Amino acid sequence: MIELEGVPELIDPVMVAAFEGWNDAGDAASTAVAHLEREWKGEVFAALDAEDYYDFQVNRPTVFMDGGVRKITWPTTRLSVVRVGGEKPRDLVLVRGIEPSMRWRSFCNELLGFAHELGVELVVVLGALLGDTPHTRPVPVSGVTSDPDLAHRMDLEETKYEGPTGIVGVLQEACTHAGVPAVSLWAAVPHYVSQPPNPKATLALLNRLEDLLDLRIPQGELPEDARAWQVGVDQLAAEDSEVAEYVQTLEEARDTAELPEASGEAIAREFERYLRRRDVGPPGGHATADGGDASYLRDSPGGKARPPRPPRPGAPGTTEGSSEGSADGPADGPADGSAEGPAKGSSEGGDEDTSED
């Protein structure tokens, strides 16, 4: 039995998790949970034993100086809790870490043990994948679940994905088998500008989480960072005619596919978000759409990196058409690959977040 000291009784708790690695293109998902911790001043109350789940040759510890004393930070997964104020206060249990190298079932069971002891009512796992989506358009965010009743109740898609998966998919299925309602939200990151950070994708995930949980998330500097990110990518793309032409092709495909999205439902969703923000005062290697590998820089480069040239149409190993991506990762290392979630070119991913706040 897990003993929790110093953790008060929680109000309608929801667990929100994200993991660095294969399921975290552009660091969008892990940055979203880090944003929640920072804005709501989360207090860490537990950490999993790094020895049990991590290969330190893959995820190396780091050394730092603390008052002249050398110390080591070990890669692990930490849990913190935040209280969301307002008329209907509730608590979020935030889980942020690195996709484990081994013992995934034990890893998920340990997290579920915390969820049980804390009375968690819903688990939401955030992820990000690489897809054929233009950086100039709103970031598509797909919401999926394995529970048909939950899909109907929360207006999500029931996942039909088959193929390699990552810790996001494994944790979601572990929740389902344990009788804990679970949802995964996936942001599609442009594959031609995959290096972190991607504040636009992070913001889209937080907006979708807002809608899902019916709460207001303080955005801080994310909207400004997202605009600056897009301007920077615009400038880089403009310097290469092939990249600019490729982006235009993606834009045309996206706009054609989304003509029906100019619907009353999409407009109503944006209006509800606007009202929520106006009326509430300030509160207290990666998954890809096509299963292939994609270059990914773990650390942000010192300067802006040029987007890689897009594949030429008809070149070996390329496919026609666009994709909003499927989402989840493989169990073996940091390589990018096929992903849990919507199939390429399909609507499996469900609702898209179309905001650019």
- The pLDDT of residue 249 is 87
User: Tell me: the pLDDT tens digits for 103-149?
Assistant: 999 999 999 999 999 999 999 999 999 989 899 899 999 999 998 99
- The pLDDT of residue 193 is 87
pLDDT band at 355 (very low <50, low <70, confident <90, very high): very low
Q: Which span out of 55-64, 251-260, 297-306, 307-316 was modeled with the highest average pLDDT?
A: 55-64
Q: Nearest-CA neighbor of 176 among 257, 244, 122?
A: 122
pLDDT reading at 344 higher than 80: no
- The pLDDT of residue 199 is 97
CB 93 within 8 A of CB 13: yes
Q: Helix 222-238 and helix 241-257: axis angle, to 10°? A: 120
CB atoms within 10 A of CB 283: 15
Given the DSSP bridges, would you call strands 43-47 and 78-84 parallel, antiparallel or unpaired?
Answer: antiparallel
Q: Nearest-CA neighbor of 272 among 182, 347, 187, 354?
A: 354
Residue 96's Cβ-count burial label (10 Å; 0-12, 13-18, 19+) is buried
- Percent helix, strand and coil across the chain, each rounded to 5? 35, 20, 45
- Separation CA 216–CA 330 (nearest Å): 33
Residue 79: strand pairing partners: 46, 95
pLDDT band at 232 (very low <50, low <70, confident <90, very high): very high
- The pLDDT of residue 289 is 53
Mean pLDDT of 53-79: 94
SS3 at position 55? coil
What is the percentage of the chain residues whose pLDDT exceeds 70?
70
- Higher confidence at residue 13 or residue 291? 13
Q: Which span out of 51-65, 153-167, 241-255, 273-287 was modeled with the highest average pLDDT?
A: 51-65
User: Tell me: the pLDDT tens digits for 186-209?
Assistant: 999 999 988 899 999 999 999 999
Q: Which two tokens stand for residue 313?
A: 């149409």
pLDDT reading at 288 higher than 50: yes
- The pLDDT of residue 248 is 86
Chain CA centroid to CA 251, Å:
23
User: Where is average pLDDT lowest: 12-16, 175-179, 253-257, 353-357?
Assistant: 353-357
- The pLDDT of residue 7 is 76
pLDDT reading at 262 higher than 90: no
Q: What is the pTM of this model?
A: 0.73
User: Where is average pLDDT lowest: 44-53, 166-175, 292-301?
Assistant: 292-301
- Higher confidence at residue 279 or residue 258? 258
pLDDT reading at 287 higher than 50: yes
- Backbone dihedral region of 146: left (phi > 0), alpha (psi from -120 to 50 degrees) or beta? alpha
Query: What mean pLDDT is reported for the chain?
Result: 79
CB atoms within 10 A of CB 356: 16
- The pLDDT of residue 162 is 86
pLDDT reading at 255 higher than 60: yes
- The pLDDT of residue 194 is 87
SS3 at position 301? coil
In order of 23, 79, 104, 329, the CA distances from 74 in angstroms are 20, 15, 18, 23
User: Tell me: the pLDDT tens digits for 293-324?
Assistant: 443 223 333 334 444 555 444 444 443 333 34
Q: Nearest-CA neighbor of 23 among 209, 285, 199?
A: 285
Scanning the structure block, which residue is given the tokens 């081994």? Answer: 102
Please give the angle made by the CA atoms of 249, 253 and 256, to the nearest 5 degrees.
135
